Structure 1
């Protein structure tokens, strides 16, 4: 599978999945794989130094993850996602007891931000991502492409960090260095587009500064304690309404530069089943959205999002966009369908403590 965000000829398919929310159910057998990002404190410090160098910040030099934007020829395909077990949810941080609060405004979630990494071209890039619930409040979800280097076939991206609320070089809630990445075995080994998602444990956040040519690290605590964490939903019915939150950037095929990637944006719509054979995927979900491809990779799809609490259930991550009507404007975002095997990957990641980064 190539690092391609633009898919042509996504086909909506008939049929709804089992409705309703229920307690989580463990997927049968081990279907996940894990890889180290920065496995030691000294390695994590080197990551911080890369992004917050003494004289310059690679954050400001980073560009949206380079992707192909040419829309492929139309595909004719059938079928769509199907639930592999009962539907289930994991509540968000702070929302373990369900709230009935409502809001007429769309308040943007604090949990969303950018993941930064050095790509196969040796240059700094970024994607969208979000904090999710976990035992130690230290877990980030994004697209598998934003963690695993499928271009050079090296296991993971270099210098991987998550920055919630990032804006023009500012890191309001700190920088969170990735420690271990978890993905589905079929993505890790076969680059299966149906499993193009990843969950990453991160160290405590830090606010670094340079004092007399010495890097000083201030620990700011755990990710989920600072910004919260979305819940997780899987095996949900197709046709549910979701909010998509991310940092779209770049142009439509007709050249219209709709988004800058500087600020968090949202779209809203009902999911539908779709397939995209060009990316070796057969069980995808789509939602109508004008998000362009660059930067929106990894955007969070939140089911039952409560604007007043800024919390919902993560039920997808953007892995691509499509111009389905051929008018040279992207109109659809696509995500893997989150099923019981997605929960299995999440379950493998959620109980692992990362620790603090301390100066050596």
Structure 2
């Protein structure tokens, strides 16, 4: 199911985004069954196999500072995860099936892939990923289309179904400026055969305002050489603070973008989403990645985004 590693459709039109980088904006919704069926038909096994890895952010970004008053209970918060409750027998789903591979057509007509994770919420429909997995970021860029999430993707198989996005959400700091400090996003998923995705495969918890220096497991579907996107890989270790960004040693390549950083992994059925894969570093060969960074999860980044989508 997973392995360890050492150390063209037109884009959707963008709903108006405010200038404040900590605010959230969304794509149009996709709920008409004929459109959902068209997205599912679009993603043939051949198109999945040929999808290119996501384009990582190019700007270095700056650690965000809150410009708004945050209620004390939101400065740091923990939301628990949940086990699967229907659609997939619990004996068949586990903490790893909450991770999955993302496929989409970007705003330039290219089919690409990312990674993501289900997150528990009141609506039981949320997948978290990176901002650059849902929107091109910056002037002239737009929302992506044909967006699907495949939990437990394994060598071309889709054991827990193919789930289509109802709506995509991202931070304005990413949408307007491609600032990787805000490179986090959420997708609200359509039900599949009447079942909500978190009910089917379970959902991770989430936390924000947590300290650096957390021991985490980092998951993703690397698709650039020497990997090919067919398997879920992971790294593990203790994060450190590098210019305001959580950082960890790992050699996963492109395509792992958006994959979860899980804290308290293995202690119970689910863990806590601590950050997501955003940007990798190599020197000088891009196939020899040696570390990753993710956006720091504060209320301005992950917290307010979660509160925006949690009841959908």
Q: TM-score, normalised by structure 2?
A: 0.79
What does residue 13 of structure 2 align with?
none
| 1:160 matches 2:181 | no
Counterpart-to-counterpart distance in 2, 1:57 and 1:331: 31
- Match of 2:96, SS? coil
What does residue 270 of structure 1 align with?
238
Instruction: Decide whether the 8 Å contact of 2:114 with 2:133 is kept in 1.
Output: yes
| 1:287 matches 2:248 | yes
| 1:1-360 superposed matches below 5 A | 31-52=23-44, 57-66=46-55, 86-94=75-83, 109-150=96-137, 153-205=140-192, 219=193, 221-251=195-225, 257=226, 259-275=227-243, 283-292=244-253, 294-306=254-266, 309=269, 311-323=270-282, 329-341=288-300, 342-352=302-312
Change in 2 beyond 3 A, CA 1:190/1:67: closer
Counterpart-to-counterpart distance in 1, 2:223 and 2:247: 19
Instruction: Decide whether the 8 Å contact of 2:57 with 2:132 is kept in 1.
Output: no
Change in 2 beyond 3 A, CA 1:68/1:148: closer
- Match of 1:178, SS? strand
- Match of 2:118, SS? strand
Counterpart-to-counterpart distance in 2, 1:308 and 1:134: 18
1:87 Cα shift?
Answer: 2.0
Change in 2 beyond 3 A, CA 1:42/1:154: farther
Instruction: Decide whether the 8 Å contact of 2:115 with 2:257 is kept in 1.
Output: yes
What do the CA deviations read for 1:23-49 (whole angstroms, capped 9, x no partner)? xxxxxx982222225243332222112
Change in 2 beyond 3 A, CA 1:50/1:80: closer
Structure richer in helix, relative to its length: 2
The CA RMSD over aligned residues, in Å, is 3.0
1:229 Cα shift?
Answer: 0.5
State the number of aligned residues: 275
- Match of 1:285, SS? strand
Change in 2 beyond 3 A, CA 1:289/1:108: farther
Change in 2 beyond 3 A, CA 1:68/1:142: closer
Change in 2 beyond 3 A, CA 1:108/1:265: farther
Instruction: Decide whether the 8 Å contact of 1:80 with 1:273 is kept in 2.
Output: no
Change in 2 beyond 3 A, CA 1:68/1:306: closer
- Match of 2:173, SS? helix
Counterpart-to-counterpart distance in 2, 1:349 and 1:80: 23
1:66 Cα shift?
Answer: 4.6
Instruction: Decide whether the 8 Å contact of 2:99 with 2:151 is kept in 1.
Output: yes
- Match of 2:305, SS? helix
Instruction: Decide whether the 8 Å contact of 2:56 with 2:257 is kept in 1.
Output: no
What does residue 3 of structure 2 align with?
none
